[in-house]
């Protein structure tokens, strides 16, 4: 609660500095109020669907072996971190700029924003997913393995985290595809798609948990995310709106290759950490792995994608 109050205070301070402090009127015309809620409520439902999926996973996990809920909980905490830092941040930054470009009828600007945001999303989402999958055991061990949380708990939480990591790029793509609807004052279509994704998650969870236990529940969440991406792209195509920027598949493959190079560096570090980093604490080793992995990914990205360092800096400075 304290964190939320502090965040609100910082937002109000930033709004005051740019002279856009909101003015709360106690009287709004009924027509304005209805229009406001008519647009807002579907957006809220869309945003809550992922949280509903996680609640469903925990409900199913309660029928499994002891500890399943805890394993999923810790895996979900690690999954939510890059999702918030990357997906939500990009979506929030994209929406107002995209809305202005669409209102002005500037299709060139719309295309440029779509390409830049999707490039930024892939450049951050794919390595984050790969890093979580490769280092899942070590991350869980360093951050949570103490007290009653033992080696078996670490192993089981890591399996769930690896399954969730498969869906991380999907949920980040969702966050930057939905603004393509929101900027056109269409919040209902993403809501219906998100609700469909919830149903897919429930069905997959009920099936996969029979074979993979709690890992199946995490995998169901990941697959539901990719289902949502597919449905959003299909809906955009039916409305003759370009979903993915030109060349995104090829660009994604190049980013995946750079992420593969980073994965090899991380695996080498994990295998050789006791010989290469003797006497260091596991937390220090984790920081070194993050550093070496990040450097290797940056170099591989510059080589694979053709981006220059100044161009990458300019790309992320837009957000």
From first to last of its 319 residues, the chain has per-residue pLDDT tens of: 888 888 888 888 888 887 777 766 655 555 656 666 666 677 777 777 878 888 888 899 999 998 999 999 999 999 999 988 888 788 777 777 888 888 888 888 888 888 888 899 999 999 999 999 999 999 999 999 888 899 999 999 999 999 999 999 999 999 889 888 888 888 889 899 999 999 999 999 999 999 999 999 999 999 999 999 999 999 988 888 877 766 888 999 999 999 999 999 999 999 988 777 787 888 999 999 999 999 999 999 999 998 888 888 888 777 6
pLDDT at 228: 93
Residue 245 CA to residue 242 CA, distance in Å, equals: 7
Provide the 3-class DSSP secondary structure of residue 192: helix
Where do runs of H (alpha helix) occur along the chain?
Answer: 2-17, 30-61, 68-82, 89-103, 107-134, 136-144, 151-165, 168-182, 188-238, 248-276, 282-305, 309-317
Q: How far is CA 161 from CA 115, 131, 217, in A?
A: 29, 11, 11
Q: The whole model's pTM is what? A: 0.88
Residue 60 CA to residue 63 CA, distance in Å, equals: 6
Residues composing the chain = 319
List the structure tokens of 221: 């969440």
Based on its alpha-carbon atoms, the radius of gyration of the chain, rounded to whole angstroms, reads 21
pLDDT at 199: 93
pLDDT at 26: 56
pLDDT at 30: 59
Other beta carbons within 10 angstroms of residue 217's beta carbon come to 31
pLDDT at 275: 79
Torsion region of 244: left, alpha or beta (phi above 0 gives left; psi -120 to 50 gives alpha)? beta
pLDDT at 25: 61
List the structure tokens of 152: 């078996």
pLDDT at 170: 94
Residues 169, 125 contacting (CB under 8 angstroms)? yes
pLDDT at 28: 55
pLDDT at 34: 66
pLDDT at 280: 85
Residues 182, 95 contacting (CB under 8 angstroms)? yes
């Amino acid at each position: 609660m304290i964190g939320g109050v502090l965040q609100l205070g910082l937002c109000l301070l930033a709004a005051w500095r740019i002279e856009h402090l909101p003015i709360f009127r106690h009287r709004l015309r009924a027509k304005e109020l209805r229009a406001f809620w008519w647009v807002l409520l579907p957006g809220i439902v869309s945003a809550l669907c992922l949280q509903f999926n996680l609640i469903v996973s925990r409900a199913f996990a309660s029928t499994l072996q002891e500890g399943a809920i805890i394993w999923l909980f810790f895996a979900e905490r690690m999954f939510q971190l890059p999702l918030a830092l990357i997906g939500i941040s990009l979506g929030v930054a994209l929406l107002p700029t995209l809305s202005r470009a669409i209102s002005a009828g500037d299709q060139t600007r719309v295309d440029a924003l779509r390409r830049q945001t999707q490039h930024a999303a892939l450049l951050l989402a794919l390595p984050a997913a790969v890093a979580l999958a490769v280092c899942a055991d070590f991350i869980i061990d360093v951050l949570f393995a103490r007290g009653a949380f033992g080696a078996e708990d670490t192993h089981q939480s890591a399996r769930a985290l690896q399954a969730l990591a498969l869906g991380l790029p999907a949920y980040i793509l969702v966050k930057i595809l939905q603004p393509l609807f929101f900027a056109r004052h269409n919040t209902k279509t993403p809501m219906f798609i998100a609700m469909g994704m919830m149903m897919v998650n429930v069905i997959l969870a009920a099936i996969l948990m029979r074979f993979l236990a709690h890992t199946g529940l995490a995998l169901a969440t990941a697959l539901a995310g990719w289902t949502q991406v597919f449905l959003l792209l299909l809906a955009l195509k039916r409305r003759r709106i370009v979903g993915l920027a030109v060349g995104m598949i090829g660009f994604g493959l190049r980013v995946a290759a750079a992420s593969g190079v980073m994965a090899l560096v991380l695996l080498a570090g994990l295998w050789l950490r006791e010989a290469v980093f003797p006497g260091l604490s596991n937390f220090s080793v984790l920081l070194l792995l993050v550093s070496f992995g990040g450097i290797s990914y940056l170099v591989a990205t510059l080589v694979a994608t053709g981006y220059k360092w100044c161009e990458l800096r300019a790309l992320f400075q837009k957000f």
